C-alpha cells in the first residue's frame, strides 16, 4: 500500500512516507544484556580502600547467561570489621590474584552489556579507580542503579528503606544477600527483574525509557517548583517547612537559588528528600555574609530544630569524651558531658566503639585501674572493694586490694593526665612495640587491630588538641579575599563564630573590622576543648582558617599545639591506611613500602 504525501505549503517531502516500528523508538528491555555486578572492599572510599571480591551475573531476557566471581588481593590489610562482615580473611585474599589480573577479565565479561549495581556510584567508583590505576580507559557503559529504580517505584509503605536486604525480602529473591559479591549480585538480579516488572506498569519498555524514568522528577517535584522562585542568589541557609511552619530539612549553599532549584529537578533522586518535597509548603532562607557563616548557621539550626529529614549533625550533644576522673584513684570513663570538675578530657569521639578503642590504647600504656566503682581509702581499708581480676595477671596494680599505695597510683594518674593533655608518645610507643611483636610472629590481622586502636586514640587526641588550641583564644579576627575583590571577615571567640561580615572592594578595612568586633556576640570561656560551640562548628572554622589567602588580623591569646602532640603521628596513621602496598608492618610498627 502506498500513501500519498499531503500537499502542505512550506513543507517538502523527499520520498515516500514510511511508518516507523516500535524498535525505532528505543532498545527493548527484552533484548538488553545486563551484567549485574557487586563488589566487596576494604572500606568505603575508592581513594583509601581496595577491592577484595568481584561477583557478576550476565542476564538476557530473564535468563542467566553466565557468572563471574573471584576474590581479589587488595594489596592492603583487611580491617577486622570487614572480615566479620564478609567472612573474607587476609589469608583468603593473599592467595587471590591482584586487581591488575582480575580487571581485564571482568571488563571482557561485561563488554557490550549494561552494567547494573545496587548503589552503582559505590561499585563504579572502585572499578573506575582500578582502571585509572592501570591506565586503562573506562568503557563508559550504560548504567542502571537499582537503588534509583526502587526509590522511584516503591513507596515507604511497601519498604522502609532501599537496602539490598530489604528489597530482597520484599521481592522474595532466590538468593539471600550476605555481603559476598556473587550472592549479592544474584539477589540484585531478582530485585532488578522485580523492579522491571513494576516499571512495565508505567509504560517503561525500553532501555532509554528505563534510564530516564529512574531519574525523572516526581509529580510533587514538578508541582512545587514555584517554591524556589523567590530564593535569592546569595550564600546562606535554606529551610524547607511544612504547613505548620515546622522545619523538615535544613541545608546551606554558596548560591541559594541554584541549590534550592535543584531539589525540583531530575538530579535529586534521594528518596527521603523526594518525600520531603511532597510535604514541604514553603522554603525559608537566611542570607549570610559568607559560606562559613552559612555552614555554622546550618549546624546550629539543625541542632536546635532536629529536622526529621536531616541525617547528620542533629545531636551534637551525643558526642562522647574520654575522661580521667577526678577522684582519689582516677580511672578512664566514657562520658557525654564536659564539666569543670578537675578531670582531664580527650575527644570528642563519634561513636562508642572509637572511644573504647582509644581507652584501650591508653590502658595498654598506663596501668590505670579498669573497674567502674568509685574507690576510696575507707572502702579499701574496710575490704569492701571488688576483687581485681586484672591484678592477678599483672595488668593492674590492684589499688582496690591495697596492693598499690595511693602515692604509686597517683604517679600513674599523673602520667595518664599528661598523655590526655598533649604528650601522646607513651601510647604510641607502647602500641608500636606491640605491633612489632605481632608482626614478628606473623599475626598481621592482630597487628592491624592494634593499629586501629592506635588510630582511634591518635585521631581523637589530634582533634582534641586542634579544638583546644582554638577554644583557648579569647578573640581571633581573620580575613580572606572575596571573589568580588573585597574581603570576608570573621570574629571567633573561644572557638565560637561570634560575627561575620564583608569589606567592599577598594574600601579601607579597619573601620569594618572595628565595627564587626564591636557588634560581635559576647562569649565566655568554659571547660574542655569545645566549651562554647560544637566540635563540628569549630572544625568548620578551622577549615576556613586553613584555606588559601586567609590572613590573621588579630589574635588575643596563644594559638599552638603541644610539641609532642598527635598531629605528626596522625599523618603516619593516615598514610598507613592509604598505603596500598602495606599488607605487613615492619619491626618499628610502620607500614612496609
Strands (E), 313-455: 320-324, 332-335, 344-349
Q: Which pLDDT belongs to residue 302?
A: 96
Q: How far apart are the first and last CA of the chain?
A: 76
Catalytic choice (101, 179, 305, 490): 179
pLDDT for 142-185, tens place per residue?
Answer: 999 999 899 888 888 899 889 999 999 999 999 999 999 999 99
Is there a domain that residue 189 lies in? yes
Q: Are residues 309 and 411 in the same domain?
A: no
> Could you tell me the three cell numbers for 206?
525500553
Is there a domain that residue 5 lies in? no
Give the distance from CA 267 to its chain's centroid: 21
Q: Are residues 309 and 331 in the same domain?
A: no
Is there a domain that residue 579 lies in? no
CATH number for the domain spanning 275: value is 3.40.1440.10
Number of structural domains (the chain) is: 4
Residue from 34, 66, 46, 64 nearest 142 by CA: 34
Choose one of 421, 439, 455: the last residue of a domain: 421
Secondary structure class of 120 (helix, strand, coil): helix
Distance, in Å, from the CA atom of 202 to the CA atom of 382, rounded to the nearest integer, reads 79
Q: Are residues 368 and 496 in the same domain?
A: no
Q: Are residues 231 and 309 in the same domain?
A: yes
Q: Residue 441, class by beta-carbon neighbours within 10 Å (0-12 exposed, 13-18 middle, 19+ buried)?
A: exposed
Is there a domain that residue 108 lies in? yes
pLDDT for 227-244, tens place per residue?
Answer: 999 999 999 999 999 999
Query: Is the previous residue joined to 348 through a cis bond, with omega within 30 degrees of 0?
Result: yes
Q: Are residues 200 and 339 in the same domain?
A: no
Is there a domain that residue 147 lies in? yes
Q: Are 396 and 320 in contact (CB under 8 A)?
A: no
The pairing of strands 247-253 and 236-241 is antiparallel
Q: Are 526 and 465 in contact (CB under 8 A)?
A: no
Distance, in Å, from the CA atom of 583 to the CA atom of 593, rounded to the nearest integer, reads 9
Q: How many CB atoms lie within 10 A of CB 303?
A: 18
Distance, in Å, from the CA atom of 277 to the CA atom of 249, rounded to the nearest integer, reads 10
> Could you tell me the three cell numbers for 207?
532501555
Is there a domain that residue 260 lies in? yes
Is there a domain that residue 304 lies in? yes
- Compute the CA torsion angle 312, 314, 317, 318 (nearest 10 deg): -50
Distance, in Å, from the CA atom of 219 to the CA atom of 230, rounded to the nearest integer, reads 21
Residue from 75, 93, 96 nearest 83 by CA: 93
Is there a domain that residue 573 lies in? no
Q: Which pLDDT belongs to residue 15?
A: 43
> Could you tell me the three cell numbers for 16?
515516500
Which residue is listed with cell 516500535?
A: 22
Q: Are residues 177 and 236 in the same domain?
A: no
Which residue is listed with cell 591488575?
A: 100
Q: Which pLDDT belongs to residue 570?
A: 82
Q: Are residues 48 and 187 in the same domain?
A: yes
Range of the domain at 405: 318-421
CATH number for the domain spanning 66: value is 3.30.420.10
Give the relative orientation of helices 444-471 and 535-546 as an angle to the nearest 10 degrees: 80
Q: Are residues 303 and 325 in the same domain?
A: no
The pairing of strands 114-117 and 33-41 is parallel
Distance, in Å, from the CA atom of 540 to the CA atom of 559, rounded to the nearest integer, reads 17
Per DSSP, the chain holds a count of helices (H) and strands (E) of: 21, 15
Is 179 annotated in the active site? yes
Q: How many CB atoms lie within 10 A of CB 422?
A: 18
Choose one of 170, 188, 214: the last residue of a domain: 214
Largest CA distance in the chain: 114
Distance, in Å, from the CA atom of 206 to the CA atom of 196, rounded to the nearest integer, reads 10
Give the helix/strand (H/E) hosting 294. Answer: helix 291-305
Strands (E), 299-415: 320-324, 332-335, 344-349
| CA dist 313 → 247, 295, 299, 461, 544 (Å) | 15, 11, 6, 21, 19
Q: Which pLDDT belongs to residue 394?
A: 60
Q: Which pLDDT belongs to residue 22?
A: 44
Q: Which long-range contacts (CB under 8 A, 24 or more apart) does 7-14 make?
A: none
Q: Which pLDDT belongs to residue 590?
A: 37
Q: Which pLDDT belongs to residue 439?
A: 87
Name the stretches of the chain with pLDDT < 50.
1-24, 580-593
Q: Which residues of 194-233 are buried (b: 16+ CB within 10 A; e: fewer)?
A: bbbebbeeeebbbbebbbebbbbbbeebeebeebbeebee
Choose one of 314, 329, 345: the last residue of a domain: 314
Q: Are residues 401 and 549 in the same domain?
A: no
Q: Are residues 308 and 333 in the same domain?
A: no
Can you give the pTM of this predicted structure? 0.67
Q: Are residues 293 and 194 in the same domain?
A: no
> Could you tell me the three cell numbers for 215?
531519574
Q: Are residues 66 and 173 in the same domain?
A: yes
Amino acid at each position: 500500500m502506498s500513501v500519498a504525501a499531503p500537499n502542505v505549503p512550506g513543507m517538502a517531502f523527499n520520498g515516500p512516507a514510511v511508518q516507523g516500528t516500535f524498535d525505532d523508538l528505543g532498545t527493548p528491555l527484552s533484548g538488553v544484556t545486563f551484567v549485574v555486578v557487586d563488589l566487596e572492599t576494604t572500606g568505603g572510599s575508592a581513594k583509601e580502600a581496595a577491592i577484595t571480591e568481584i561477583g557478576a551475573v550476565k542476564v538476557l531476557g530473564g535468563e542467566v547467561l553466565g557468572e563471574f566471581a573471584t576474590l581479589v588481593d587488595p594489596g592492603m590489610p583487611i580491617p577486622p570489621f570487614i572480615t566479620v562482615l564478609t567472612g573474607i580473611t587476609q589469608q583468603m585474599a593473599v592467595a587471590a590474584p591482584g586487581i591488575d589480573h582480575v580487571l581485564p577479565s571482568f571488563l571482557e565479561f561485561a563488554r557490550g552489556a549494561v552494567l547494573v549495581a545496587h548503589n552503582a556510584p559505590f561499585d563504579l567508583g572502585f572499578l573506575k579507580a582500578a582502571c585509572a590505576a592501570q591506565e586503562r580507559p573506562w568503557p563508559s557503559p550504560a548504567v542502571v542503579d537499582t537503588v534509583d529504580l526502587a526509590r522511584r517505584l516503591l513507596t515507604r509503605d511497601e519498604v522502609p528503606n532501599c537496602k539490598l536486604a530489604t528489597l530482597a525480602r520484599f521481592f522474595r529473591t532466590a538468593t539471600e544477600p550476605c555481603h559476598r559479591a556473587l550472592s549479592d549480585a544474584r539477589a540484585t538480579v531478582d530485585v532488578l527483574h522485580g523492579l522491571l516488572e513494576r516499571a512495565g506498569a508505567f509504560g517503561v519498555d525500553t532501555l532509554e525509557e528505563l534510564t530516564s524514568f529512574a531519574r525523572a522528577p516526581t509529580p510533587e517535584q514538578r508541582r512545587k517548583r514555584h517554591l524556589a522562585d523567590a530564593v535569592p542568589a546569595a550564600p546562606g541557609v535554606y529551610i524547607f517547612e511544612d504547613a505548620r511552619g515546622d522545619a523538615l530539612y535544613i541545608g546551606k549553599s554558596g548560591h541559594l537559588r541554584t541549590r534550592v532549584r535543584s531539589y525540583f529537578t531530575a538530579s535529586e533522586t534521594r528518596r527521603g528528600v523526594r518525600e520531603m518535597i511532597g510535604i514541604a509548603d514553603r522554603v525559608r532562607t537566611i542570607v549570610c555574609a559568607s559560606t562559613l557563616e552559612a555552614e555554622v548557621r546550618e549546624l546550629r539550626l539543625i541542632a536546635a530544630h532536629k529536622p526529621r529529614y536531616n541525617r547528620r549533625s542533629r545531636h551534637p550533644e551525643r558526642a562522647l569524651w574520654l575522661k580521667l576522673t577526678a577522684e582519689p584513684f582516677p580511672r578512664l570513663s566514657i562520658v557525654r558531658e564536659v564539666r569543670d570538675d578537675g578531670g582531664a578530657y580527650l575527644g570528642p569521639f563519634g561513636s562508642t566503639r572509637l572511644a573504647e578503642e582509644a581507652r584501650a590504647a591508653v590502658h595498654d600504656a598506663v596501668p590505670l585501674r579498669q573497674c567502674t566503682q568509685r574507690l576510696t581509702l575507707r572502702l579499701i581499708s574496710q575490704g569492701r572493694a571488688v576483687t581485681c581480676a586484672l591484678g592477678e595477671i599483672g595488668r593492674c596494680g590492684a589499688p582496690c586490694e591495697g596492693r598499690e599505695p595511693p602515692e604509686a597510683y597517683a604517679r600513674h594518674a599523673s602520667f595518664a593526665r599528661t598523655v590526655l593533655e598533649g604528650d601522646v608518645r607513651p601510647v604510641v610507643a607502647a602500641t608500636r612495640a606491640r605491633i612489632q611483636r605481632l608482626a614478628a610472629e606473623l599475626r598481621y590481622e592482630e597487628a592491624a587491630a592494634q593499629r586501629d586502636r592506635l588510630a582511634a586514640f591518635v585521631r581523637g587526641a589530634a582533634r582534641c588538641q586542634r579544638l583546644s588550641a582554638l577554644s583557648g583564644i579569647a578573640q581571633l579576627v581573620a580575613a580572606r579575599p572575596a571573589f568580588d575583590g573585597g574581603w570576608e571577615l570573621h570574629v571567633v571567640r573561644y572557638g565560637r563564630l561570634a560575627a561575620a561580615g564583608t569589606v567592599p572592594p577598594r574600601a579601607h578595612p579597619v573601620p569594618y573590622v572595628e565595627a564587626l568586633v564591636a557588634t560581635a556576640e559576647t562569649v565566655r570561656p568554659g571547660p574542655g576543648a569545645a566549651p562554647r560551640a560544637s566540635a563540628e562548628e569549630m572544625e568548620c572554622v578551622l577549615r576556613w582558617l586553613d584555606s588559601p589567602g586567609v590572613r590573621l588580623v588579630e589574635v588575643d591569646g596563644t594559638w599552638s599545639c603541644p610539641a609532642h602532640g598527635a598531629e605528626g603521628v596522625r599523618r603516619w596513621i593516615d598514610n598507613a591506611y592509604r598505603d596500598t602496598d602495606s599488607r605487613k608492618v615492619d619491626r618499628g610498627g610502620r607500614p612496609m613500602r
